[in-house]
Amino acid sequence: MIKINFKYAPYTLLLLIICFTGSGLAQIPVRKGPASAEEIKKALAVLEIDLDNLNAHNKYIYAMGLGNPRLVTQYNAWIKKYPKNVNIPLAIGTAFSNAAMSQGEDFLLKAAQMDPQNAKVWAMLSADAIRKGRNDLFKEYMKKATLADPSEASYAANYLMSFQDIDPEDYKQKVFDFTKRFPESDHAAMVLYWLAVRTININDKIYYFEELRRLYPPQKFKWSASGMIGLADAYLQTNPEKALTLIDEMGGGNNWKIRKQVAESLLRVEKLEQSQRYNEAITELNQVKLPTFNYVDDFITLKKSSLLEKIGNVKAAYDSLAVKFAKLPTDQLYTALESYGQIIGKDKVQVNQDIERIRTSTAVPAFPFELRLYTSNRNLNLNDLKGKVVLLTFWYPACSPCRAEFPHFEAVIRKFNDESIAYVGINVYPEQDPYVIPFMKNSKFSFIPLRGTAEFADKYYGVRSQPANFLIDKEGKIVFRDFRINEANHRTLEWMISSLL
């Protein structure tokens, strides 16, 4: 009998800090250095005519460049000269906030002091706080944003989500209360979506996704549309007919076309299996192609292995599971793998040796980087960590999924409490360097922070989005990549690390 496995490993909960800006304060492209002297002069002349002109502020800030120290000097001078003009600190604070640069905090605090009912300022401050690892300040500022503008669902949603780990049962009720308060808001759909995503029990997960579909029709609400992928993949494992109905409702996008083929194949497999036509069922499953992003990969592998066992080809069932487990291990896969191993005469030691051979055959040398530490003026070379298992993550402070994943990495690392494990984080955006040390101190995460760039991550590790994670063995070879860890799959990371110690 196939047990249902529903891992939401690829995407873990993130606090979606939605910082709306006011009229004239749209996000400004980041320019580190100044424009020509003539362009700056023209922008300054226009601005000095009317320092309340937010559009003029934007043009001047862009001309000066956010990395230009003279920009802050100029705005501090204006603030001193015009202490009652809230638009001066608001303009420069918003520019830094939009660029996820920490220099905006003091300016935004000045603006908040002058205009405490400006909810957008509190929302921007909350974003700054969480990039610094200050969850307490995030809550405080988001609460102020909510009180300043009770009608804005985005503020209320983010404030609500900050309480999800305090009392899970109470939080579930609060989520449904929230949907009643904001029945027409995509932000309410967002809160319900994340409740479903975080839920491990598949029946509860299906219920929440079905409520999302009922309360927020996916044709109208983007978060509900996103949630239907999770619901469809849950149905594929429990009720392919329901999956097919949902997929037909969702339309003809490529991902849905692929899932429709999967649903139809599973229905055919079900009928073939009932009539004991196992070889035909295996042939059908072998033709199944899954979407790049899916939650049914393990389910299909286990289903195929079960059918192989029924035709007496246990060796093939074992081999397919070994390959799968070697890449992304789970307890469920190992239980089945060990069971099939026993049937063909392999004990646990032999099973582990087979897995090790597969991993060794696919391991590749990690680029031996040498990068500057944030905590000192020294460099760290990957070769310095030879003899240690290295958990390497590429991140940046404004990356919500990165911040959401850190507690799960930390929980597993602390569980091992092993000095032969090194936990390293490379920040890929130097513009956000000022956030790194405050984030480390406030969050108390234990990874070694290194200075990197997006170009470095792409060139040497093929990383184009963050977070991106690697596990490197004691000899400096990448054994595991392309994995994500959340509250549901700590055991996967434990399996991977244990195999390398």
**285 membership: H or E segment, kind and range:** helix 278-286
In a domain, 456, yes or no: yes
- Asked if the peptide bond before residue 467 counts as cis, ω within 30 degrees of 0, the response is yes
Across the range 116-130, mean pLDDT stands at: 97
Considering only residues 11 and 451, tell me which one the structure prediction assigns the higher pLDDT.
451
Residue 336: how many CB atoms within 10 A of its CB? 24
Tell me the three state secondary structure of residue 42. Answer: helix
Residue 2 — very low, low, confident or very high, per pLDDT cuts 50/70/90?
A: very low
- pLDDT category at 28 given cuts 50, 70, 90 is very low
Q: Which residue has the tokens 């919500």?
A: 400
From residue 159, how far is each of 168, 366, 381 by CA, in Å? Answer: 15, 41, 41
pLDDT tens digits, 164-222: 989 999 999 999 999 999 999 999 999 999 999 999 999 999 999 999 999 999 999 99
Give the span between the Cα atoms of 431 and 379, in whole angstroms: 19
Does residue 261 surpass a pLDDT of 80?
yes
Distance CA(163)–CA(186), nearest Å, equals 19
Which residues, in sequence order, are CB contacts of 421 under 8 Å at separation 6+? 388, 389, 390, 391, 413, 497, 501
Q: CB-based contacts of 333: which residues, under 8 Å, 6+ apart?
A: 298, 301, 302, 321, 324, 325
Decide if 482 is inside a domain.
yes
Instruction: Report yes or no: 442 and 134 within 8 Å, Cβ to Cβ.
Output: yes
Mean pLDDT over 8-27 rounds to 34
Which stretches within 328-449 are classed as H helix? 331-343, 348-362, 400-416, 433-443
For residue range 362-386, list pLDDT tens digits in order. Answer: 999 999 999 999 999 999 999 999 9
Give the pLDDT score at 24: 35
Q: And the tokens for 216?
A: 């927020």
Residue 270 tokens read as 């079900």
Q: Where are the alpha helices (DSSP H) in 12-53?
A: 37-49
Per-residue pLDDT, 33: 65
Residue 392 carries which DSSP code? E
Question: What is the percent of the chain with per-residue pLDDT over 70, rounded to a whole number?
Answer: 93
Q: How distant is the alpha carbon of residue 494 from its chain centre?
A: 20
Q: Residues 248-255: contacts with CB within 8 Å, 24+ apart?
A: 249/218, 250/218, 250/225, 255/229, 255/291, 255/293
Strand order in the sheet with 389-395: 364-365, 477-481, 468-472, 389-395, 421-427, 448-451
Whether 204 is in a domain gets the answer: no
DSSP states along 153-181: HHHHHHHHHTTTTT-HHHHHHHHHHHHHH
In this predicted structure, the answer to whether residue 150 has a pLDDT above a threshold of 80 is yes
Residue 350 tokens, joined? 């032999």
Query: What letter represents residue 250's amino acid?
Result: M
Placement of tokens 């509900």 in the chain: 224
Pairing of strands 389-395, 421-427: parallel
Query: Rounded to an integer, what distance in angstroms lies between the CA atom of residue 167 and that of residue 235?
Result: 29
Cα torsion 114, 120, 126, 131 to 10°: value is -110
Contacts of 281 (CB under 8 A, 6+ apart): 268, 269, 272, 273, 307
**Res 31: pLDDT:** 57
| Cα→Cα distances 380→370, 388, 440, Å | 5, 14, 18
User: Within a domain: residue 172?
Assistant: no
In tens, the pLDDT along 313-363 reads 999 999 999 999 999 999 999 999 999 999 999 999 999 999 999 999 999
Q: Would you state the pLDDT for residue 30?
A: 56
Mean predicted confidence (pLDDT) in 472-483? 97
**Cross-strand partners of 370:** 381
Any domain includes 51 = no
Q: 455: domain range?
A: 370-500
Q: At what angle do helices 87-98 and 119-131 cross, to 10 degrees?
A: 40
pLDDT at position 251, please? Answer: 81
pLDDT digits (tens, 9 = 90+) for 433-470: 999 999 999 999 999 999 999 999 999 999 999 999 99
Average pLDDT, the chain: 92
Is 48 inside a domain boundary? no
Residues in CB range of 120: below 8 A, 6 or more apart:
19, 20, 21, 22, 145
State pLDDT tens for residues 126-140.
Answer: 999 999 999 999 999
Contact 158, 16 (CB under 8 A): yes
Q: What is the average per-residue pLDDT within 67-84?
A: 95
- pLDDT (0 to 100) of residue 252: 75
Pair of tokens at residue 197: 């995503």
Whether the predicted pLDDT of 475 surpasses 50: yes
Grade residue 25 by pLDDT with cuts at 50, 70 and 90.
Answer: very low
Q: Which contiguous run of DSSP H or E holds residue 93?
A: helix 87-98
Calpha distance 92→365 (Å, rounded): 45
Residue 417: predicted pLDDT: 86
**pLDDT tier, 34 (very low <50, low <70, confident <90, very high otherwise):** confident
The CA distance from 107 to 257, in Å, is 50
Does 446 reside within a domain? yes
Beta-bridge partner residues of 470? 392, 481
User: CA 438, CA 462: separation in Å to the nearest integer?
Assistant: 28
CA 452 to chain centroid: 20
pTM over 0.85: yes
Instruction: Assess contact for 213 and 224: CB atoms under 8 A.
Output: yes
Q: How many domains does the chain have?
A: 1
Torsions phi, psi for 395 (to 5 deg): -150, 180
User: Within a domain: residue 81?
Assistant: no
As given in the structure block, the two tokens for residue 465 are 């989005």
CATH number at residue 451: 3.40.30.10
